[in-house]
Structure 1
Amino acid sequence: MLFFTLAVVAKESFFSLTHSFKRSARENITLLREFLHSRITETALLSFIIIYSFVSITGNLNIGFRHLFPIFPFAYILLSKKIFSYRRKDHHKKNFINVMIVTMVFWLIIEAVASYPYYISYFNQVAGGPSSGYQYVTDSNADWGQDIKRLKTYLEENPRIDKIRVNYFGGGDVNHYLGEDKVISWWDARRPVENGWYAISVLFIQESLHDERKSVEENYSWLKKYSPVAQVGTSILIYHVTDIK
């Protein structure tokens, strides 16, 4: 590309170059003005989406999908406008587009109903739904400590659990909800591992397993050989360890 650019600049007459540049510049400016005048709304919306996405994605605060929420209303507006514009232009495919729109609306309604009440930890079918999405991304995408009350209910329904080791992520007071006499405070580096019941937030499990700064003796790698006996809500996994000698 650089070779041909230099060749044109070197071999073409100076008059032709300057004339072509001026004409090209005028035409480009005219086209840009016409585009901005006729599509100022789309340009503004798209510019915001691009700039905001770039700043969010390249920033250091990558702790949740929620940081991209501001772009979605604008993206939906642009998408809707494009769909209906295409619908008006192509009459032959009008019925097909109508069916697709109705199908998508019903799909969204069914998705919303099926995900109740786990909207904080919503994941689509590709990610395995709300109960499995934490395996791909955690933090506020899956776990905001929203299941502490469900953990209380789970323990009330399982009175055989007299003590439980809890590593809970969230702002709730574990002792208040579960009772000081029932809770044993736990964390990934605590040793030795003990027989008994564990309630661990998925954020802490994933964070511990993928933190390269932690050794095997400091993380939750020992949990890999156990399967959760229950999942409280979507953000707390219950384990029962019985084989420690």
Structure 2
Amino acid sequence: MTRHSSTAIGIIAAVVIIAVSSVWNDAPIVDEVPHIGAGYTYVKKGSLLFNPEHPPLPKDLAGLPLLTLDIDQTIYNRTYEGNWGSDVNGQWNFGRTLIFHSGVDATAMVHRAKLPMLFFFITSAWLVFHWARKRYSPSAGLLALFLFAFSPTVIAHSRLVTTDIPALWGVLVATYFFVRWLKDPGDGWRSRNFWLAALAFGFAQLAKFSLFLLWPYLLLVAVIWGFINGHVFKTAWRGLLTMIVGFIVVIGPVYQLHLINYEGFQQKSDAVIILKDSPYRQASDLVIWASDKPVLRPYAAYAMGLLMVFQRASGGNTTYFLGDVYTSADKLYFPIVYALKEPIPFLILLLLAIVAAFAHKNSKRNRLRGWLADHFDETVMLIWIALYWGTSITANLNIGVRHMLPVYGFTAILIAGQFDRIKTVFSATRHKFFVYRVSMIVLLGWLAIETLSIFPYYLTYFNQFALIRPSWTASQDGYVPGGHNYVVDSNLDWGQDLKRLADWAEKNNVQRINLDYFGWADQTYYLKDRFFWMTRGRYTTKEEFLID
């Protein structure tokens, strides 16, 4: 093992320790409640009864460690309400019952469910290092890894039972093995690279439904490679065939395992209820028809989840942003939130990398085909970044900076690549190289200190730009600076601090808290009888609140 590989392993191990220790006193966040309940049901019962709007892979991994717990199985005999539409499943209430009322210590259960999620971070981090090292240099690999692993957003979501880091993982593995297959097709479908590319694509589709974008993206990548080698149609067909094979051989068998105890008539009945208001009527009717057909059922289950995501995205959600509450999306949301949630030294490095890329002149091969051949990996990554940013900005759903995680890996690699070239240029003179080294030490040291100093509150991180007082708070009494003035939701509070609130109340002997909680963790489990639930609309003025 090389020195650089050992250093990379050390960085990953250090961040894993930070991630685990920082989440140890968290309550389960909003999305973890149904995800843990669904994951346990998948692996214990072989039933896709809960949470079909997200693919099963992350939830399966979260559910596996729970199989060794002595969970009271009578929780499945109760009726749960509160899911989609008329709500045949009640995934939220079931998840809360499983975690807090199934005869098992809730904290231990949540810890077990969270730990497997680190698989997606560890493999993603290593692939970021490996790809940058292979494309540029070992030092570029370490820089890319450092930028990726020390992102507060990456750390925050690396240990949550959600689909955001798995989506990042899916983009990395699917693209890496697809590109490798294009460059070295070997003996066609018999080659190892073909099957690695196909399987990687299939499992990426099991990570998050937004990775449906990999279909047009990878097809375009294949077309570009075909343009480079002079065989556009042949290469595009090979690329499409790879994705089709991966989809068939992965989605079908994996989803079938989740239908063992989920009868066809039940699947069809649920599909009718869930898709009754879908704006995609023809596709929904086709999915409903296929839901009880033996061979087609697994693919119908996948397609139903995909349609649920399309339906939710078209409907939007309520968002606080820049002083206003929106029910539709704002095109400035993701750029501004990204600028507020990533550390300033990272943003400086990103800006410098962009400037360096535009300033660089390639005099050796200036024709398009030659340029693409020389910069194929960079082109592939830039296309994904542009595609994902573009679709996110134009979509009708603003759900937090976490939604942008699928671009984080490629962004880190591209920054490292530019600075690898900058280092080469500055190495020409001793003075310039000294300036380069000092600048990098300052920026990377700032990034490390910034990230370590906010332990363990990574989900709530905002950079110093968020301390600037916005104009819409000018008339506020008792103004408190911070990111909450700009945006909230999963950027700030996802229900993670309920356990800390309970610990604080006990330590300070607080007997009553008026609680308005954004989360699905059981308040009584943590606070006992120390809280009074504040329902929306209970107080119409601040005077009423103070009197009560």
Q: TM-score range by the shorter chain?
A: 0.5 to 0.7
1:61 Cα offset (Å): 2.1
Give the structure 1 partner of residue 345 of structure 2: none
Shift of 1:45: 0.8
TM-score (norm 1): 0.63
Residue of structure 2 equivalent to 1:236: none
Instruction: Please tell me whether residue 74 in structure 1 is matched to residue 410 in structure 2.
Output: yes
What CA distance in whole angstroms lies between the structure 2 residues aligned with 1:94 and 1:43? Answer: 29
Q: Kindly indicate which of the two structures has a greater share of residues assigned to helix.
A: 2
Question: Aligned to 2:514, what secondary structure does the other structure show?
Answer: strand
Mean Cα displacement is larger for which, 181-190 or 40-49?
181-190
Matched with 1:156 is 506
1:183 maps to which of 531, 543, 546? 531
Distance across 1 between alignment mates of 2:424 and 2:373: 22
Give the root-mean-square deviation of aligned CA atoms.
2.2
Shift in Å, 1:132? 2.2
Secondary structure of 1:60's match? coil
Q: TM-score, normalised by structure 2?
A: 0.29
> Residues of 2 paired with 1:49 and 1:190: CA distance?
45
Q: Which consecutive residues of structure 1, in runs of 5 or more, have no partner in the other structure?
A: 1-29, 192-216, 226-240
Give the one of 372, 383, 386 matched to 1:47: 383
Q: 2 CA distance for matches of 1:166 and 1:102?
A: 45
Matched, 1:116 2:455: yes
Stretches (4+) displaced over 4 A:
none
SS at match of 2:446: helix
Residue aligning to 1:86: 422
SS where residue 83 of structure 1 aligns? helix
Deviation, structure 1 residue 151: 0.8
- Aligned residue for 1:123, secondary structure, equals coil
SS in 1 for 2:367: helix
Deviations for 1:12-43, whole angstroms, at most 9, x for unmatched residues? xxxxxxxxxxxxxxxxxx82111101111111
Structure 2 SS opposite 1:184: strand
For 1:174, the aligned partner's letter is: Q
Aligned residue pair count: 167
Q: Residue deviations 1:155-183, cap 9 Å, x none? A: 11222x3222211011210111111x332
Cα deviation code 1:87-117 (max 9, x no counterpart): 2124242221111111122111111211101
The residue correspondences of 1:212-227 to structure 2 (distance < 5 A) are: 217=540, 222-223=541-542
Give the match for residue 439 of structure 2: 100
Partner of 1:167: 516
User: Partner letter of residue 531 of structure 2?
Assistant: V
* 3-state secondary structure, aligned to 1:75: helix
Q: Percent identity?
A: 37
Question: What residue identity is the alignment partner of 1:137?
Answer: V
Tell me which residue corresponds to 2:485: 135
Work out which structure has the larger RCO, using CA pairs closer than 8 Å and 6 or more positions apart in sequence: 2
Point out the structure with max Rg over C-alpha: 1
User: Hey, which of these two has a bigger chunk of strand by percent?
Assistant: 1
CA distance in 2, matches of 1:61, 1:182: 36
Partner residue, 1:147: 497
Specify the code of the residue in structure 1 equivalent to 2:381: L
Structure 1 distance, partners of 2:434, 2:377, is 28
Report the AA paired with residue 186 of structure 1. Answer: M
